[in-house]
Amino acid sequence: MSYIPLSVPNLSELEAQHVNRALESGFVSSVGPDVSSFEETFARYVGAKYAVACASGTAALHVALQVVGVTRERDVICADFTFAGSGNPIAYLGAQPVFVDSEWRTWNMDPQLVVEEIERRAAAGEPQPAAVEIVHVLGQPADAAPILEVCARYGIPVVEDAAESLGARWSSGVLAGRHTGTVGTIGCFSFNGNKIATTGGGGMVVTDDAELAAAVRHLTTQAKVPGVGYLHDVVGYNYRLTNLAAALGNAQLARIDDFVAAKRRFAARYDQAFSDLPLVVPPRVEGFDSTYWLYSVLTADEMERDRLLEALDSAGIGARALWRPLHMQPAYGEPAHIGGHVGRALFERGVSLPSSTGMTDEEQDRVIAAVRDFFGAA
């Protein structure tokens, strides 16, 4: 019986054509026509004015946080329940993360806790954070509106980590019609191999602010001032995306609607198949249109999670636990943490199931059967 992976790239003849064309053109490195068209197509797809391609989602977040003004010793309010790629860029800048717990409704950062913390600081005359970083985990849009509102009131920039949520949108409320990653000051995406669309490795920064976009482009290209003099006005990074990678990305973007539709279809099939099991299925929030990047369920407790992971592994199924919250990571020392332990519960109880867009119904049926079998259901 073949192994069913958790999430692998969906590659077709179209990807081969785009990459071969880039090879034949001789543009393989960091300047080339595919990078520009990838940026333009991406900006149009998500509905942002500017898009700057870069080497990874982590690199995108690093420069995004830097250009909105995050510096040494300043605080950055950030979601606690997320992958380390959200938190590491805060540490690169020497800033202090303040990790805020999730809410059960979306599994994302609790907006009420963010509002309370910012209002508390205002009332106490304490400095506000240099930025608030919203993460849309697992393809699920966060409840961003109340956070945007309080940040606008106090002039705090909002950085969105939309690495896992390309294609996800709000469909009602003040953000109706907007894509995740486009409602803050600046937004970041990832094209790592396990994400919904891949360039092999890569990222994108989007913003409607021309100055911020120019600053991102400058920092990601070694901060070299145009002209002959090899003048670098600040310390920059080599964070460019290669033209070869962008060519792959262009083919993937041409298929993004199909990828989103596939993820949603698999999520609906899983929901249906698990409706009688003692499992919590992913959030379905009216007006918050998730793409179910990794379809994840919650077991009763940590012991059951481990037993389910083991059962799936021995059935040749690539399931995985959810992330350990960032406030529990030794990497960040003893960071500030606000709220309770929703994120911790998601970590202890969560299992992500195979969610590749190229998975067949037969493969998904095998996953479903293994999960049902684990619970002793027919």
Binding residues for ligand PLP, rule: CB under 6 A, are 56-58, 82-83, 85-86, 135, 161, 163-164, 190, 192, 203
Q: Nearest approach, Cβ of 283 to ligand PLP (angstroms)? A: 16
CA-closest candidate to residue 107, choices 71, 81, 73: 81
- Closer CB to ligand PLP, residue 138 or residue 371? 138
Q: How many C-beta atoms lie closer than 10 Å to residue 99's C-beta? A: 28
Closest CB to ligand PLP among 90 and 371?
A: 90
Decide if 195 is catalytic: yes
Using the minimum distance from each CB to ligand PLP, give the nearer residue, 187 or 304: 187
* Alpha-carbon span 81 to 108, nearest angstrom: 7
Catalytic residue among 49, 195, 224, 263: 195
CB 202 within 8 A of CB 249: yes
Q: Determine whether 33 is exposed, middle or buried from the number of CB atoms within 10 Å of its CB (0-12, 13-18, 19+).
A: middle
Residue number closest to ligand PLP, CB atom: 57
Q: How far is the CB of 215 from ligand PLP (least distance, A)?
A: 20
Q: Tokens 């999520």 label which residue?
A: 267
- Kindly state the smallest distance separating residue 271's Cβ from ligand PLP, in Å: 22
Pick from 178, 146, 209: nearest CA to 288: 178
Quote the least distance from Cβ 373 to ligand PLP, whole Å: 30
Cβ atoms < 10 Å from Cβ of 289: 20
Rank residues 84 and 311 by Cβ distance to ligand PLP and give the closer one. Answer: 84
**What secondary structure does DSSP assign to 50-101, as a single string?**
EEEEES-HHHHHHHHHHHTT--TT-EEEEESSS-HHHHHHHHHTT-EEEEE-
d(CA 344, CA 353): 19
- Residues contacting residue 115 through CB under 8 Å, at least 6 positions apart: 146, 147, 150
User: Taking the complex as a whole, how short is the minimal distance between the CB of residue 234 and ligand PLP, in angstroms?
Assistant: 22
Q: Measuring CA to CA, which residue among 164, 150, 170 is closest to residue 100? A: 150
For the annotated catalytic residues, the residue numbers are 195
